[in-house]
Amino acid sequence: MREFVYLRPGSIAEAISMRCEHEGCSVLLNGGTDVVIQLRDRLIKPDYVIDIKRIEGLREITFSKEAGLFIGACATMNEIGNHEAVKTYYPYLAEAALSVGSKQVRNRATCIGNIVNASPLCDTGTPLYAADAVVCISGRDGAREVPIREFITFVRRTVLRPDEIVTGIRVPYVEGLRGIFTKVARRREVDLSTICGTVARVGDSYRLAFGAVAPTPVRLPKTEALLEGKQLTPELIEEAAELARTEVSPIDTGWKWSASSPEEASNNWRKGDGAMKYKVNFFLNDEPMELYVDANKTMLNVLRDELCYTGTKEGCGAGECGACTVIVDGLPVNACLVLAPEMDGMHITTVEGLAKDGELSPVQKAFVEHAALQCGFCTPGFVMSATALLMENPQPTREEIVRAISGNLCRCTGYVRIIEAIEDVAAQYAKQGGAN
For residue 213, give the nearest of 239, 257, 183, 179 by alpha carbon. 183
Residue pair 1/45 in contact (Cβ under 8 Å)? The answer is no
The CATH number of residue 210's host domain is 3.30.465.10
Judge if 342 and 303 occupy the same domain. Answer: yes
Judge whether 424 lies within some domain: yes
Judge if 349 and 379 occupy the same domain. Answer: no
Judge whether 28 lies within some domain: no
CA distance 388 to 382: 10
With 0-12 / 13-18 / 19 or more C-beta atoms within 10 angstroms meaning exposed / middle / buried, residue 154 is: middle
Judge whether 20 lies within some domain: no
pLDDT at 350 (0 to 100): 98
**What's the average model confidence in pLDDT over 329-350?**
97
3-state secondary structure string, the chain? CCCCEEECCCCHHHHHHHHHHCCCCEEEECCCCCHHHHHHCCCCCCCEEEECCCCCCCCCEEEECCCEEEEECCCEHHHHHCCHHHHHHCHHHHHHHCCCCCHHHHCCCEHHHHHHCCCCCCCCHHHHHHCCCEEEEEECCEEEEEEHHHHEEECCEECCCCCCEEEEEEECCCCCCEEEEEEECCCCCCCCCCEEEEEEEECCEEEEEEECCCCCCEECHHHHHHHCCCCCCHHHHHHHHHHHHCCCCCCCCCCCCCCCCCCCCCCCCEEECCEEEEEEEEEECCEEEEEEEECCCEHHHHHHHHCCCCCCCCCCCCCCCCCCEEEECCEEEEHHHCEHHHHCCCEEECHHHCCECCECCHHHHHHHHCCCCCCCCCHHHHHHHHHHHHHHCCCCCHHHHHHHCCCCCCCCCCCHHHHHHHHHHHHHHHHHCCCC
For residue 133, give the nearest of 117, 149, 118 by alpha carbon. 149
Confidence check: pLDDT of 121 > 90: no
Confidence check: pLDDT of 260 > 50: no
The CATH number of residue 348's host domain is 3.10.20.30
For residue 39, give the nearest of 281, 297, 226, 251 by alpha carbon. 297
What value does the mean pLDDT of the chain take? 90
- Percent of the chain past pLDDT 70, that is, above it, reads 93
Judge if 166 and 224 occupy the same domain. Answer: yes
For residue 361, count other CB atoms closer than 10 A to its CB. 19
Judge if 427 and 308 occupy the same domain. Answer: no
Judge whether 377 lies within some domain: yes
Judge whether 321 lies within some domain: yes
**What's the average model confidence in pLDDT over 205-222?**
93
Confidence check: pLDDT of 171 > 90: yes
Considering only 37-51, 241-255, 294-308, 319-333, which range has the smallest mean pLDDT? 241-255
Q: Which residue among 325, 353, 381 closes a domain?
A: 353
Judge if 291 and 423 occupy the same domain. Answer: no
Judge if 193 and 296 occupy the same domain. Answer: no
Judge whether 16 lies within some domain: no
pLDDT at 276 (0 to 100): 62
Confidence check: pLDDT of 270 > 90: no
CA distance 39 to 41: 6
Confidence check: pLDDT of 14 > 50: yes
Judge if 70 and 96 occupy the same domain. Answer: yes
Q: Which residue among 353, 376, 404 closes a domain?
A: 353
How is the beta sheet containing 218-219 ordered, strand by strand? 178-184, 195-202, 205-211, 218-219
Distances in Å between the Cα of 56 and the Cα atoms of 59, 108, 135, 343 are 7, 17, 19, 18
Judge if 76 and 201 occupy the same domain. Answer: yes
How is the beta sheet containing 5-7 ordered, strand by strand? 5-7, 48-51, 26-29
Residue pair 157/128 in contact (Cβ under 8 Å)? The answer is no
**What's the average model confidence in pLDDT over 171-198?**
88
Confidence check: pLDDT of 269 > 80: no
Instruction: Say which residues have a Cβ less than 8 Å from residue 78's Cβ, sequence separation at least 6.
Output: 97, 98, 103, 106, 107, 331
Confidence check: pLDDT of 290 > 80: yes
pLDDT at 141 (0 to 100): 95
Judge if 169 and 300 occupy the same domain. Answer: no
pLDDT at 129 (0 to 100): 97
Judge whether 99 lies within some domain: yes
Considering only 160-169, 259-268, 360-369, which range has the smallest mean pLDDT? 259-268
Judge if 319 and 388 occupy the same domain. Answer: no
Q: Which residue among 208, 228, 248 closes a domain?
A: 228
**What's the average model confidence in pLDDT over 161-182?**
95
Residue range(s) defining the domain that contains residue 415: 362-432
Judge if 322 and 394 occupy the same domain. Answer: no
Judge if 157 and 302 occupy the same domain. Answer: no
> For the chain, how big is the Rg over CA atoms in Å?
23
Judge whether 2 lies within some domain: no
pLDDT at 158 (0 to 100): 95
How many structural domains comprise the chain?
3
